[in-house]
Amino acid sequence: MVKTLHVGIDLSQKVNATQFMDQDGQVVHKPFGFPNNLDGLEAFVAKLIPIITSHGFSRVKIGMEATGYYWWHLREYLDEHPTLNNMAEIELFVINPSLVKAFKKAYPTLPKTDFVDAWVIADRLRFGRLKPITEKDLRYQPLQRLTRLRYTLVRNATGEKNRALGLLFLKFPEYTTVAGHRTFAKGPISLISEFTLDEILDKPVEELAQFVVEQGNARFSNPELFIEELKKAARRSYRLNDKMQNSVDVALSMTLENIQFLKGQVKKLDRVIAKEVEAIPNTLRSVPGIGPVLAAGIISEVGDITRFYSDAALARFAGLTWTRYQSGEFEAEDTSLTKAGNFYLRYYLVEAANSLRLHNPEYAAFYKRKHSEVPKHQHKRALVLTARKFVRLVFALLSKGQIYKGRRES
């Protein structure tokens, strides 16, 4: 009989707590804490080796939560340790914290301490149905660092834009109505930053139109018409109190600078991502509408596609599944998206779906059909369903390495 040691490690920046449990759930050694540095890790291994030998364990499963980057150095060190790997079969698991949290609910009376959490991780390992992390998974980690940073920058830029919209309403309530999709275009936003409402009304149309063209690098069609509409909007807009004017101008100016900076950072990062993803063979870019950044965001989170036995498993990993509510003869028709999976992957899949509906006839037809099926939330629903359809294609292309051959939806 194979004897297995289950080691649970609760990670933190300074000190890690660990528990040692056999296949029957019995703790085989008292809990042990060690500093999260090289000396501490060596002390942990020095404690682990005699436990393995004294109890005759031939397999060791070591699990830790995917807590920030705290697991990275431990995994590399333990994976490459010659003595450990010669003594027993070593399997390393980096576990989604949500799995551990849900598992701990089976023990409602357990307190919250680091050593208890380490015990829960070890017990979760003992119950199985987890896959150890492999070198194939780690191949995608460098790219993942970049695509996750991009996600953060985009989210921050969105937050700054929402702040700017509030400030724009204070300064010029009707501006966004007139500007529409040009709200943050360089020419129009420079005009709003530079001039007050009364100055916009007083200055000639030609002068303001020239300003917009120069600030926007001449990429503006019919600027005179835009200025005339802007003047009309200025006449019907509220006027900001003089005591608020300066503070709003400063806050708006700095917020717009933040937006431009973040946009610049995203552009720089996109170039790096496009270069990095070339080193990872994949056929996602054969799909019209999927560029290097979207492909990188998807494959960096999917990792080794062999981890998933079907597209349904991949969809669950991304949180693109729907709950079911049934009781007796009642079956709910309106169910919610689980959103319990990898939100980075879900983000890139939904962004891909949005691009596909614009550039891919097959997915454009599918999106249009789903959009027309319901009277409310049409866009969000159709976009998520399009993303779920795309998951099937992602699974097929990554699993088989085939080139995309599209078909037009009937």
pLDDT digits (tens, 9 = 90+) for 260-314: 999 999 999 999 999 999 999 899 999 999 999 999 999 999 999 988 999 999 9
Domain ranges in the chain are 4-133, 144-274, 284-400
For residue range 72-116, list pLDDT tens digits in order.
999 999 989 999 989 999 999 999 898 899 999 999 999 999 999
Q: Is 5 a residue whose pLDDT tops 60?
A: yes
The predicted-structure confidence for 196-222, as pLDDT tens digits, reads as follows: 999 999 999 999 999 999 988 767 788
Tell me the C-alpha distance between 91 and 69, whole Å: 19
Percentage of the chain lying above the pLDDT 70 cut = 94
Checking if the pLDDT of 331 tops 80, the result is: no
Q: How far apart are CA 195 and CA 203, in angstroms?
A: 10
pLDDT band of 2, cuts 50, 70, 90: confident
CB 357 within 8 A of CB 383: yes
φ and ψ of 99, to 5 deg: -70, -40
- Residue 276's Cβ-side half-sphere holds a number of Cα atoms within 13 Å equal to 22
- Residue 18, phi then psi, degrees to nearest 5: -135, 150
d(CA 168, CA 173) in angstroms, rounded, equals 7
Residue with tokens 């129009």: 188
CA torsion sign for 108, 111, 113, 116 is negative
Q: Report the Cα–Cα distance between both ends of the chain, in Å, rounded.
A: 58
Residue 220: partners with Cβ closer than 8 Å, 6 or more residues away: 185, 187, 212, 213, 226
Note whether 38 and 31 are within 8 A (CB). Answer: no
What would the pLDDT profile of 129-140 be if each residue is shown by its tens digit? 898 887 767 789
What CATH code is assigned to 4-133? Answer: 3.30.420.40
Model pLDDT, residue 325: 46
CA distance 327 to 189: 55
Instruction: Output the average pLDDT for the chain.
Output: 91
DSSP 3-state helix, strand, coil percentages of the chain (rounded to 5)? 60, 10, 30
Q: For 38-66, what is the mean pLDDT?
A: 95
180 phi-psi bin (left φ>0, alpha ψ -120 to 50, beta other): left
pLDDT category at 332 given cuts 50, 70, 90 is: very low
pLDDT at 409 over 70: no
Give the model's confidence band at 410: pLDDT under 50 very low, under 70 low, under 90 confident, else very high: very low
Burial 180-218 (b: 16+ CB within 10 A, else e): eebbbbbbbbbbbeebbbeebeeeeeeebbebbeebbee
- Please say if the pLDDT value at position 16 is more than 90: yes
**Mean pLDDT, to the nearest integer, of 158-181?**
95
Amino acid code (one letter) for 189 = I
pLDDT of residue 339: 67
pTM of this structure: 0.84
